[in-house]
Structure 1
């Protein structure tokens, strides 16, 4: 990965962006895409849209990712200065205790989610407490001390940052889904540099983790978009502790994952597979019998129905502080999106023939 683009990825991953508090992360994203986009806009809730204006020939494509990450929120301060928390999105109660966290108050406040030492616990009674029963220790001795630092409603994220692993692999929190917003931006950059005939949008949505909310806003507002491609992460099932019955065909380092079924429009699936073959990009296939669990589920029912597709990045350990991806997969997704934009230029649309 090119040095400047890797720096952009690191900036995205290390900028806290929990659902409902995405502003700092969106500023990183918009600052980067302004270098090559013809126009960049944001709406009232912080959804960000950048555009490459094509020649007007062919359909308009929007490549999207969601800016928000899971986390926690301060719901109360106890008399002895500990913080009670609630989940933001699908926070995993089995990995939270004993972790360093940052409370994003007016100034960042460092803390830990408390875990009673193994010496003081009865192993027979060990269980994973709900997030609502867990607490953050910021070092305060009383509620007065704690309230000088934080207040109810402050968001909380794990304090982990990006770590390089072997080869092209990295570990970080928030890979779900700042990697998607990275690929959307990179696809737009490629379209801009190639002066693509197709008009291409890159979109960074908010509040996906709490109900696909930003995608609903963008899908309603962007009447000019003929097709949405939502880039998100999907479960790589190639690590040893995944149960056999849950193992699928998705592996790290084996390229983009094109989803079939449910919201995924068959014409867009065909376009993606043909573009991948033409660009010599290896792809993996995944089935979605009911829903994708991504922004594509909101985009495809916008207005009277907008053709949509979910393209995914293989990701290990989703919704933990140590998500793992192969950066080669990110580059391959961007290559696929750019190839789709090039191949779509001569089309009139994506409607199925009935």
Structure 2
């Protein structure tokens, strides 16, 4: 699968997104943080067309080399929210002068004390072994090189996939479905489809792209937690039963209502999601940019978030793209004007 650790999206995933977006928008540009911004202009000649911004982040969590030790073993730290418990035994790719396959090793259980065996591994206990002599490793790898999980997509059923980085490449896929679907509509608004960078380390791509675009409406597309053994039902949504729509302080009620209405018109089931404060997604950065943006959040239910086997339903992705396109087709100057009426 494509790689693109936060801050290094340009290495692979950005090129793929540009290729997939080509033909669906009128122009594609990038900014200083590497955001890919596809613009589809509205189908009217009105110079004051509303602006709708879509945001799905293309970066992924990963690792970064911090030290080359005797024997050529690599110590590392995390980029984004990596759980050390999932790491031992993982195959990885180290992006040095050339990509190197490695494995994350740890002291074997036969050689650990009872105290060590009783606790979870810390990241400082782990190392990457690329199987090469130290001098060769030092020639090919530098401190600061990034590392990604080596994992291909697994098709569990015809509708369920498992793989790495669906958080949030699934959101980018939703945007592409939406752009394709918009061909069916006459659209008054200009649509800015933004594959954002550095979400996993602080929503940075969404911050700067929203500031530059100055949208009237922003819709973030991300993943949420799907039903999983041991997790309370009220904290999850169900895979295969449609996307989740978030309500809360981060969400403009009229944008939420518009998305909900679009889903009903298409007969698409949606699930409720609640966020009393900030959502931890690009929706937060979009909402508070400049003088504020009316924001919505559409999420794809996903199991095993921030692992290399994130699992989701393809049909949820397709439905999310369709309902967002329907919502966009309803946005005009009157709708935007109503967003500022609170009484």
Q: What range describes the TM-score normalised by the shorter chain of this pair? A: over 0.9
Map Cα deviations across residues 283-305 of structure 1 (whole Å, 9 max, x no partner). Answer: 00111012111001101000010
Count of paired positions: 336
Q: CA deviation at 1:52?
A: 1.2
Cα displacement (A) at 1:117: 2.8
- Cα deviations by residue, 1:94-131 (Å, 9 ceiling, x for unpaired): 10111000011221101000033333334553222232
2:216 paired residue among 201, 221, 226: 226
Aligned mates of 2:335, 2:265 — CA distance in 1: 20
Is 1:26 the equivalent of 2:7? no
What TM-score, normalized to structure 1? 0.91
Given candidates 110, 121, 128, the residue that maps to 2:120 is 128
Shift of 1:348: 3.7
Structure 2 residue aligned with 1:241: 230
Give 1:352 shift. 3.6
The SS at the match of 1:46 is coil
Q: 1:247 to 1:93 in 2, by over 3 A?
A: farther
Report the equivalent of 1:115. Answer: 106
Q: Distance in 1 between matches of 2:114 and 2:327?
A: 54
Q: Is the 8 A contact 1:232 1:311 kept in 2?
A: yes
| Aligned ranges 1:196-345 → 2 under 5 Å | 196-223=187-214, 225-236=215-226, 238-242=227-231, 244=232, 247-345=234-332
> Post-superposition shift, 1:138?
0.7
Distance in 2 (CA, whole Å) between partners of 1:275 and 1:346 is 18
Q: Distance in 2 between matches of 1:17 and 1:294?
A: 18
What per-residue deviation string (whole Å, max 9, x for no partner) do you get for residues 44-73 of structure 1? 221011111112476321111001000000
1:353 matched residue in structure 2:
342
Counterpart of 2:4 (choices 17, 21, 24) is 17
CA distance in 1, matches of 2:257, 2:150: 41
Conserved 8 A contact 2:243-2:271: yes
TM-score normalised over the length of structure 2: 0.94
Contact 2:50–2:188 (8 Å) recurs in 1 = no
Aligned residue among 27, 31, 41 for 1:53: 41
Paired with 2:210 and 2:331, the residues of 1 have a C-alpha distance of 20
The 4+ residue runs of structure 1 with deviation greater than 4 A are none
- Separation in 2, partners of 1:58, 1:261: 28
Give yes or no for contact 1:191–1:200 (8 Å, CA) kept in 2: no
| Aligned with residue 58 of structure 2, among 67, 71, 76 | 67
Kindly report the root-mean-square deviation, in angstroms, between the aligned alpha carbons of the 2 structures: 1.6
> Any residues of structure 2 matched to 1:71-150 within 5 Å, and which?
71-122=62-113, 124-126=115-117, 127-142=119-134, 144-150=135-141
Q: Which stretch has the larger CA shift, 132-141 or 166-175?
A: 132-141
Of residues 58-67 and 87-96 in structure 1, the stretch that sits farther from structure 2 once superposed is 58-67
The CA deviation at 1:31 is 1.2
Point out the more displaced range, 57-66 or 28-37.
57-66
| Alpha-carbon distance between aligned partners in 2 of 1:316 and 1:85, rounded to the nearest angstrom | 26
Which blocks of at least 5 consecutive residues in structure 1 are unaligned? 1-13
